[in-house]
Amino acid sequence: MGGGRKAQAQGDATRACGIRGTVVKLDRGFPLVLLDTGDALEGAAASAAESEAPMPEARVRKAPVPSPQSLEASDETTAETMETPRPLVRCEHATALVKGEHVRAAIGDRVAVQLPAGHDRGIICAIEPRATAFVRKDPADRTAKQVLAANFHLVAVVEPMNDLNRRRLERELVLAHETGASVAVVLTKADLVDPAQRAGILQDIRALAGRDTPVLGASLEDASSIGKVRELVGPGCMAILIGKSGVGKSSLVNALAGRALQSTASVRATDGKGRHTTVDRVLVEVPGGGAVVDMPGVRGLGLWDADQGLARAFADVEGLASQCRFRDCSHGDEPGCAVQAALASEELAPERLDSYRSLAREIAQVRVEREEARRMRGEKASDARRRKRR
């Protein structure tokens, strides 16, 4: 199905469901959807009354904003009404989505929901086209992708200043740039680094991230540093925080929100490392600004379709490669290789080129594995292209 026909079909499905909302939390695999208005809920209640089937209270809560405090009691058995209520509905996916379209809603997704009479959950029957998406290779299926978040404006890569892992940061930057959203780097736990070394670390990471990517140091002990991070998440902006467990993402979310909303664990005195605490993705409101999503720390960040992300994260290497004499230069011993010349002049670090090559090989290998899996399933290439566009 072409892009235009598919968009029309998705629009038809959305109109058929009639109720639209945003996924604001994933609770043990079940999306919690904040509906746009309570009018549709009242209409569903009226339909249920006509059919003499009661609206189950366990399915619907009322919440003014998508904050963790309003989402904590997702398993409540009674409806809770707050000031300026908007319905919050615990949902499951329609069979046609998970078995037919092979897609699932991610946090930030705009979805269409049905509220069947006598059913204990809402049903997500359509997912609107995503403006942006954070995608990694599914750790449970090497030939499938996993969408972790959608429709955000900023990806903040969070790494601890006192325990920087450049290779992981480079990988995270590739994934972040591949989304098409704006990208920033936040180096937490700056207070655990000797003040004389902080400026050098920031300068080093700014050179790695590129001039168009803001790099900020942050410390819970320095309110001004948190304020600079808050400025990145202005009104109307949705940001996602990515980084491994223990880098301080939840503490940063609490600081941005101005109150303790996310669970945190104390750092170890020996090395300043934190421990894993976040298990669900949840949308958190930033007072006077937009919203942030604290993503659970993930060990595996397998690349998927990341050619554009690789080009943006390694713009220095790509720029040099474009100056090589031969377009198919492998940057080995070919004459006129600008990359080898940059290595010789120490303009480019060997470790930087090694990282670029390693990530490029991984992307190519994923492409090969997906093609082999497609052939084993007996699918046509056109089927794979349709899945890629979803």
pLDDT, one tens digit per residue, over 271-280 is 444 443 444 5
307-388: same fold as 133-294? no
Q: For residue 365, what pLDDT is reported?
A: 87
- Does position 359 have pLDDT exceeding 70, yes or no? yes
Q: For residue 31, what pLDDT is reported?
A: 93
- Give the residue-averaged pLDDT of 334-356: 93
Q: What is the DSSP letter of 289?
A: S
Q: For residue 43, what pLDDT is reported?
A: 53
Min mean pLDDT across 131-135, 190-194, 246-250, 334-338 is at: 246-250
Percent of the chain surpassing pLDDT 70? 71
pLDDT band at 384 (very low <50, low <70, confident <90, very high): low
pLDDT band at 270 (very low <50, low <70, confident <90, very high): very low
pLDDT, one tens digit per residue, over 291-301 is 998 776 555 66
Per DSSP, the chain holds a count of helices (H) and strands (E) of 13, 14
Q: For residue 179, what pLDDT is reported?
A: 94
Q: What are the residue ranges spanned by the domains of the chain?
A: 3-127, 133-294, 307-388
Q: For residue 332, what pLDDT is reported?
A: 85
- Does position 320 have pLDDT exceeding 70, yes or no? yes
Four-residue CA torsion sign, 124, 177, 284, 131: negative
The separation between the first and the last C-alpha atoms of the chain, rounded to the nearest angstrom, is 11
The DSSP-derived string for 108-145 is T-EEEEE--TT-SSEEEEEEPPPS-EEEEE-TT-TTSE
- Give the residue-averaged pLDDT of 80-84: 35
Q: For residue 182, what pLDDT is reported?
A: 96
Cα separation, 328 vs 59, whole angstroms: 58
Domain 133-294 is in which class? alpha beta
Closest CA to 359 of 303, 317, 312, 299: 303
- Does position 66 have pLDDT exceeding 50, yes or no? no
Q: Could you tell me the fold of the domain covering 3-127? A: OB fold (Dihydrolipoamide Acetyltransferase, E2P) (2.40.50)
| Region 307-388: CATH code | 1.10.40.50
Output the pTM of the full model.
0.78
The 8 Å CB, 24+ separation contacts for 206-215 are 208/166, 208/169, 208/170, 208/173, 208/352, 209/173, 209/183, 209/185, 210/312, 210/313, 210/315, 210/316, 213/173, 213/183, 213/184, 213/185, 214/184, 214/185, 215/184, 215/185, 215/187
